[in-house]
Structure 1
């Protein structure tokens, strides 16, 4: 944890581990308590879950991944993201090193993702939708928004995860942004 919070931060293994724990617990909860109480209608052997129940979490997870990769530390959203990342880094490091007895090496992605101007417009719209879903949503989608966004932030700066997810997310935002800016010009 050698770098300032607002610059490109170092990420240690504990931080993405914490993000993976959030994802695993969310899926476990969905599996155990999914719509219908975990029972299929009629046969009584698990199931009865709708993948749509996970949609707020997955959208928030993708949102967290892209904001940690695309927002600079010198923006309002970037500052919040870096503070969340810093906290997750500290908690994850403590959990792996002092709680479990392992090690927490650095796993930082080398470069942030760059969005086009249109991509940032779509990101601004996505931010408004996440906030709206949090403000006007039911209790569970609110929790899923927070948990998904934090998990995305914690996972986003890890080199392996960011390398796989950054390309489709940033490309999708940039493509939607080019459509958006082309449509209003």
Structure 2
């Protein structure tokens, strides 16, 4: 377990905690969509669009842990979340199920360009505004998505690998936004 708040490292416990969050949100969506059904209803009430806020928040969290500098508000929140989630996941793996929790941090972090940071800043403002003022947004689902993304973004596994094209897409949008393309 990494107790250094300045460090951006994740253990298997943190990745496990992030994966558990994703699985539980998907399980709740699946169960909620089956609906018990009325007569003649096929029970297929699972609308994938209900998962969009969670997926957007998950992507935001993945980028947050990669992009946020340690001397920013977002960096402080991200590192505190990473530290807490990694600690809880490590304790769960070691004392809950009797396993171990080795480090699984990717070797090279993904960095955003200046335009990418501008796009990410706009995305941050939109998510905060949505969280504060939307009456239909599932707030807990969004918060859990960001938290899970923070825990999964640094891993060398599948979720961590998704960070590379995600950061590339934000950097591409940032290049367009900043007028770098000519």
Question: Does the 8 Å CA contact 1:11/1:107 hold for their aligned counterparts?
Answer: yes
SS where residue 138 of structure 2 aligns? helix
Report how far residue 78 of structure 1 moved.
Answer: 0.8
Give the corresponding residue for 1:142. Answer: 139
The structure-2 alpha-carbon separation of the partners of 1:122 and 1:170, relative to structure 1 and needing over 3 Å to count, comes to same
Residue 27 (structure 2) pairs with residue 28 (structure 1): yes
Aligned-residue RMSD, C-alpha: 2.1
Give the corresponding residue for 1:97. Answer: 94
SS where residue 5 of structure 2 aligns? coil
Q: Within 5 A, what are the aligned runs for 1:7-46?
A: 7=7, 9-34=8-33, 37=35, 39=37, 43-46=40-43
SS where residue 104 of structure 2 aligns? coil
TM norm structure 1: 0.89
Distance in 1, matches of 2:39 and 2:174, equals 46
Report how far residue 13 of structure 1 moved.
Answer: 0.4
Distance in 2, matches of 1:139 and 1:80, equals 25
TM norm structure 2: 0.91
Aligned residue pairs total: 181
Unaligned 5+ segments in structure 2 are none
Question: Does the 8 Å CA contact 2:152/2:160 hold for their aligned counterparts?
Answer: no
Give the corresponding residue for 1:160. Answer: 157
SS where residue 29 of structure 1 aligns? helix
Unaligned 5+ segments in structure 1 are none
Give the corresponding residue for 1:51. Answer: 48
Q: Within 5 A, what are the aligned runs for 1:108-119?
A: 108-119=105-116
Residue 58 (structure 2) pairs with residue 88 (structure 1): no
SS where residue 159 of structure 1 aligns? coil
138-147 or 54-63, which deviates more:
138-147
Distance in 1, matches of 2:31 and 2:160, equals 31
